[in-house]
Structure formats: structure tokens, C-alpha cells
Structure 1
Amino acid sequence: MKDSSKTLLYWFCQLLGWGIYIAILILSVKFNKPDAMSPQMIVAQFIIGTSTLFASHGIRWTIKKKQWLDLGIGALILRLLMASILGSILSNLNVHILLYLIFDWFDNFHAFEWSNVPIYVFNLSFMLFMWSILYVGFKSIESARKNKIEKLTTQTALKDAELIALKAQINPHFLFNSLNNIRALILQDQMKARDMVTNLSDILRYSIEFSKREKVTIAEEIDILKNYLDLESIQYDGRLNYQVKADENTLNCIIPPMVIQTLAENAVKHGISQLKEGGEITIEVTKSDEDLEIRIANTGQIKPSSNGTGIGIKNATSRIQWLFNAAPSFTLAQKEEQVVATLILPAKYESDIS
């Protein structure tokens, strides 16, 4: 809300609130002391209400000027109480000066008694203190709401920055591995090297195209995954076989770009590359209830030092957590002659988080 709008709202609430207070004063006189009702009495109530309005405005000015909202609760309450008493005294003084010295109405409608002054001061102090509490409460709520918005804005900016950083870590990692593979084949088999360049070109085009997106569909991911595995199959001279299976109801589910490719690269690097005779990679994507399961099995054995927490896996799970605001489950297990990596994440569609 702009400052001008806040100022208008403040004065609207002030005039409305103290206007109601004036009406209550007039009705109180009418029903409790009907004989005392007169034009002078009505004017007097307006003078009391207006004087109280300016007293409350003075308290507001002091709160802002002295930055009382930054104080502890005890110090704040004490200052509000003292300000309310002082405001009440000044307001009563102002009212009596106007009525007695300027208008000289006391003899006409009201017998002034000094004994009543403490009661007037106490009543008005209570009203001003309640007003002060309401004002401070409103400002505290407003401040908390503003801080929450700023916190959410900061978290969103941090999320975007971390997503960019995570993508930036994955893409060079994959690119360097692929270029090393092509380099190894250039002098051995130029035709295969050319095919590898074509596959790498398609993968890089995908990477660039989706680098500005936080999510892609399983169908899009599988298309580029096959290019990647074709590239690796050429590199391993036919010693790498693969199968990719995705249930029909998973193809429109969304995931962060290159997550499956990262898992497949991990299977190639730590599994197939370690076997002279090569091996097979099987990739399955299934959906059950509200979960999406990505299962990658490769020929090989888990090494004692391998715990599945490499940079690629960490980045993939971090991006999933940022996208879905839920931590995925990743497990790595040995099943007979195969290493099985299982990633379970929420099954979401574009419409779920748009």
C-alpha cells in the first residue's frame, strides 16, 4: 500500500473511531442526564472528541519519531501508558480552557468541580491507552506481514539462483565427459565419431533449450536420454545395451531437466565402464498412487567406496526438492549381478505447479 493510501486510511479510521466516541458521549448524556442536554452540551462533546483525536495523533507521532516499535514489550507498554496519561492531561486541559476561558459555558450547563478532574483524566487515559494498543498491534501485524513477504521474496530469489547454479554444475560436467569420449574415437573410427558429434549436438541443443525451464515432461526427457545412450553405446563399441520403458501414464509427468540422464550417466560411469565385456542398462519409469518411480539397473557391482552421493545425484535431488518442495527418495542397492538405483519423487503434472 502506498504512503498516500495509508495516510488516507489512517485519517478515515481516526475520524470514524473518534466520531463514534463523540456519538457515545452524546447518547450517554441524553439517556443518563436528559435535563443536561443542550446545544452547548453537544458542542462540548465534539470539543472533547476532537481534542482526544489530536492527543491520539500526538501519541502516534511520538511512537514513530522515537521508534518505540523497536523496543521490548515491557518498555513499550510503559511508554504507551505514560504517553496516554500525558495525552489525557493535555487533552483535558485543552477542553477546559476552551469551555471555561474562551466560551465561558460552565455556569450555563455544567458545574465544574476539581474533584472530577482525576476521573476525567483516568477515563481519557484508558481510552488513549486502548487506542495506542490497537495502533501498535496493527503496526506489528503490518510489519510481520511485510517481513514475511520480504522473506518469501528472498527465498524465491535464492531458489532461482540455486537452480541456475545447479544446472550450471551439471551441464559442463556432462559436456566434458562427452567431449573426452569423442576425442578418444576421432583417430579410431571417424564415422562413429561423427555420429557421436550428431548425438552430442542434439543433447546440447536440448540442454540449451531447457536451461531456462525448471521442468520438462518424462516424454521429453526420454527422447534426449536415448540420444545420450546411443552416444555412449558408440563409445563402448557395442558393449553397452540399453532398454528404456516408461508407462503411458508417466509421459506427461514433470521432472527437472536431465535428471534421468544424470542417473544413466552415473550407471555408465560407475558400472558399464568398469566391465571389460560391457553390460546392459535398463531404465523403467512407473507411477503408483502419488509417486513417480525412476528405476535404473545396470550390470556391475557396488564398490565399497560408492555411496551414490556424487555431485550429479546431489544436484538432481536438490533440483527435485526445489521444484516440488519435497525431498525425493534415492536408494542404491545390489541385486544379484545388477546395481539398482531407485529415485522416488512426487508424480506431478504441469497443471499441478503452474
Structure 2
Amino acid sequence: MTGRRPGAAREQLAGWLFVAPVVVILGLFMVAPILMALWVSLTGWNGQGSPFRAGVPFVGADNYTRLFTEEGLARRDFMTSVRNNAYYVAIVVPLQTVLALGLALVVNARLLRGRTFFRAAFFFPSVTSSVAISVVFLFVFANSGAVNGLLALFGVDGPQWFADSRGLLHLLLGATGLVDPDAPPAALTGGGPFGLSWWEWLSGPSVAMTTIIMLVVWTTSGTFMLMFLAALQDVPVTLEEAAMLDGAGRWGVFRHVTLPLLRPTTFLVVTLGLIATWQVFDQIYVMSQGNPAKTTLTPAFLSYQTAFRSFDYGSGTAISFVLFAVIVLLTLLQRLVMRDRRAS
């Protein structure tokens, strides 16, 4: 029977003493608030007094079932926000990832002069206040703003960017003549999952949401560019030179050597992009408040609106926990997909 090493208990105690301040801080400011919010999501608290007093009604899972199974405005608004955010994520994450990688390749080029300037210029929008940039975009995309003025030079009548609730897919179908947006097929308007018709699910992002997408892609690509740039600078030059000597062109070297080595960084960028895009709030709050016609409404903004404007803190907190579950599931799914690719 082997005994414990002399002094092991003392070392273990010393280790716990070192980590105790961090454990206490995380417990007080992270774990405890999350557990408190979870309790609030199971109640009908209206913000009056403490949510832990005896008079607060306990509703159980009603705040959650109302979002998925019960007919009503709560489910319709939540599913509308999920639809809007899903299109937002599906466009923003690929665009910002590709743009960030492209910018990193540009500033990593050995023959590029003034690389320091271009790095700072590409990164500058990412460190600028999102509220300030959002206000600038409101002026730039106003009805008489710079964008519509530029389009007018080419004879194009620009839309009312932040007042246009038409979906891009609806506009595309109307432009091709396949479907009349004002008279869609009855099969698409007659029914659909979770209280929205198929026609509403297949609307695509609205013109107003597209404007916000352009803003977010422009402001977030700089941060991810730095991540790709750091990864590119860790790629061994000898591998690229060996591939060139074996007859691979620039595209072949990038596809078969550089890109596989960037996979961990790509996973990080896509994961951070998924988390940030599902939590988009400040641009929505400043630029649209969920309008027009709720086509820029997102779950994060709906949670805020439900809790702090409608004073239904239980439902607002339930929306935030559902959003948390969505983010976790998508992150795990993405990790599984990328692990399968490495295995193959």
C-alpha cells in the first residue's frame, strides 16, 4: 500500500488558496447571477420588488412553452426574431470570415509596401465605437444620404434603406418573374411551422437588415483579420516553398498547404462569429429598434424589449436562455463537422 507523498496535502491546500479568489469572484459574479436569472425565467416577475419574495408567481416552463407551442403574439415575435437572426448569421459569418482571410492575405504579402498602414486601416473600424459607426450609417444610408446620392449618379433610385421591410428573396423572385411578391402562392401562405407561413420563413433578410449586415461585416472583419494574420505568419515558409518546387501554383499552395494549417484559426473565427451574430443588439438598438415591420427584430433585442419595456422579466429571461442554448448547440455542431473533416 503506497502512502501519500509527504507534503502533498500542504501543496493541495496551497493550490486551493491560490485559486480561491478567482473561484469566489466567478461564483459571485457569474454562477450566482446565472442561477438567479434561471429562477426568474420560471416566474412571472414584473420587476416590482425582489424576484425571490413570496408573492412572485411561479409559472414553471410556461415562459418557454409560450415561445414554441402556444398560439399568440409572443411565439410569433420570437419566431420572427429567430428567422431574422438566422438570415443575419447565414450571411454575416461567411462574409466576415472570407473578407478577414482575404485582408490577412493582402497585408501578409511580402511585396506589399506600407503593410503597417494597411493593417491599422483595416483594423480601425473594429476598435471604433459600434454606436458611433451606427449613427454614421444612419446618415450615410438616409433617403437623401451619400449612398442614394451616389446611386442617383448612375440613374438608380435608391430604396428607403431603414424603412424598407421587403425581403431580398421576395424581391429576387419578383424580379425574375417566378412569383408575384404581392400575390404569393397559396401553398406558401396557407401554413408553416411555429406560427409563421412558409412565405414568411422564405423572405430572406429585409433591405433594412441588409444595411445592418453591411455595417457589421465591415466593422468586425478587422479583428478576425488579425487572427488570420497571426496564423499565416506561423505557417512555415519551407512548406510553401517545397510545394512550389513540386509544381504547385499559388492557388495549389494556398488550397493544399496554407488553408489546412489555418483550420484551427478558422474554427475560432467562425465560432466567435456565431456567438457574436446571435447576440447582436447594439446595432439593432441604435439603427432600427426592430423596425420596419419587425424585420430587424432579433432574439437579443426581443429579450431586452420584453423584459425592460413590457416588464415581463420572466419571458425576457426565458428568451435569453433559449438563445444561449441555440449558441451552444450550433457551436457543438460546428466543432463536430470540423472534427469529421480532419478525420477524413
Q: TM-score, normalised by structure 1?
A: 0.22
Q: Who wins on radius of gyration, i.e. which is larger?
A: 1
Instruction: Select the structure that is richer in strand.
Output: 1
Q: TM-score, normalised by structure 2?
A: 0.23
